[in-house]
A and B are shown apart, each in its own frame.
Chain A
Amino acid sequence: MSDQKRPDPEKFQDPLENYEPREYSDELERALAEEPVTSIHTQPFISISEDTPVHAALETLAGRDIASTLVVDQQERLVGIFSDRDALDKVALEYDAVKDKPVSEVMTANPIHVHEDESSAAALCVMAAAGYRHVPVVAADEKVIGMVSPQRVVEFLLEHLDGDD
């Protein structure tokens, strides 16, 4: 067995000795940077299968009084999102022609989403920069595990804002 040189403990230099943790201007900035997106309330969420008829998808939105529902395949992986905006753009004036078609034909396919280990700032970025109100959250296997909405972001902001409640 060859001799292995071991580092001299007295000469050991901690590579992190000059590390200075980032300073944030306030608690909200820290939370946006460091808290995972799952720290925003991402549950509950509604999902429907991609072959759900359009009229049933619309009834799901209306019955639950929600603005959007996630659309998944048979393996529960995200394939789209069907929202009030899709109903406005592709269903409202063409209802009789599309009501029995699968929701996959009118949904927003492959929506921008975030992964569960991304920061909460990532969800806000999708909303602010990409302009999407609802942001699906997926696990590493691409299965849907939640959804971030503006109301939930507001709750998150209020939890971390510095100020009087």
Chain B
Amino acid sequence: MGLYENMLSEPIRQLALREAITIPAELSVRDAVQGMREKKLGCVIVVDEGNKPLGMFTEAMLRRLLIDNRTALDDSVQNHMARQFPCAAIAEPVVTILEAMQAENHRFVCVVDEKGQVAGLTGQKGLMEYVADHFPQIVLTQRAGVEPPRGQREGA
């Protein structure tokens, strides 16, 4: 089966989901940033008491804050999060992620379970990994980060 057919049939749960950072709405942007640093993740999901997503705050939004309003670091993250953000059910097909990236160049996609609670995070990296896993002998055998052979021979 080709890659596209797999994307249409395989659910998002087949992707290597990242553990999402979930935070309450009243947390400060500064604390959210600290959490993103510690978890090495460029996104936090703001959730309600039932762990259902209310918004998303990303490193791209942080970039704009640093330029436009650095005092916002001490504001509640709910004042600066995106209330409309990409979100997909874990049972939806992988092609949903591709469509989100194609349409809006979304970097992260919040994944929810059958109850609507946050189940994980995926996005650009997850999709790249999925495609690489589909063609392991072509992609995962590349010399990533290795210098190519030099023009001059060593030795004699």
Contact partner of B66 (CB less than 8 A), chosen from A87, A89, A154, is A87
B11 within 8 A of A: no
Contacts A88-B33, A88-B42: A125 and B4 contacting too (C-beta < 8 A)?
no
Question: Which chain A residues border B5 with CB–CB below 8 Å?
Answer: 163
Q: Are B2 and A150 in contact (CB under 8 A)?
A: no
Q: A92 touching B4 by the CB < 8 A rule?
A: no
User: B-facing mask of A104-125, CB < 8 A → 1, else 0?
Assistant: 0000000010110011011011
Most chain A CB within a 10 A radius of its CB, from B102, B140, B142: B142
Given A32-B138, A32-B139, A121-B138, A26-B132 contact (CB < 8 Å): no
Tell me whether B128 is interfacial, beta carbon within 8 Å. Answer: yes
Please, what's the 1-or-0 string for B1-40, where 1 marks a CB less than 8 Å from any CB in chain A? 0111100100000000000000000000010011011000
Q: Is the CB of B70 within 8 A of A95?
A: yes
| B62 and A124 within 8 A (CB) | no
Which residues in window 70-96 of A have CB below 8 A to B? 84-85, 87-89, 91-93, 95
Is residue A51 contacting chain B, with contact meaning CB distance below 8 A? no
**How far is B62's CA from A130's CA once the two chains are assembled, in angstroms?**
24
Interface residues of B in 121-147 (CB under 8 A from A): 124-125, 127-129, 131-133, 135, 138-140, 142-145
Any chain A CB within 8 A of the CB of B63? yes
**When A133-B124, A150-B127 are in contact, do A128 and B132 touch as well, CB less than 8 Å?**
yes
A151 at interface by CB-CB < 8 Å: yes
Contact status of A128 and B139, CB under 8 A, knowing A154-B101, A161-B3? yes
Binds B, one of A10-18, A41-49, A57-65: A57-65
| Interface pair A158/B102, CB less than 8 Å apart | yes
Are the C-beta atoms of A58 and B101 separated by less than 8 Å? no
B79 contacts partner chain A, Cβ-Cβ < 8 Å: no
Contact among B4, B127, B129, B143 for A163, CB-based, below 8 A: B4
Give chain A's interface residues, CB within 8 Å of chain B. Answer: 25-26, 28-29, 32-33, 58-59, 61-62, 67, 84-85, 87-89, 91-93, 95, 112, 114-115, 118-119, 121-122, 124-131, 133, 150-151, 153-155, 157-158, 161-163
9 A-B pairs with least C-beta separation: A163-B4, A128-B132, A125-B142, A150-B124, A112-B145, A84-B59, A127-B128, A62-B67, A122-B142
User: Would you list 24 pairs from A and B whose C-beta atoms are within 8 A, ordered by A residue?
Assistant: A25-B2, A26-B3, A58-B63, A67-B107, A84-B60, A85-B59, A88-B36, A88-B37, A88-B59, A93-B30, A93-B33, A121-B135, A126-B144, A129-B144, A133-B125, A150-B101, A150-B107, A153-B128, A155-B102, A161-B3, A162-B2, A163-B4, A163-B5, A163-B8
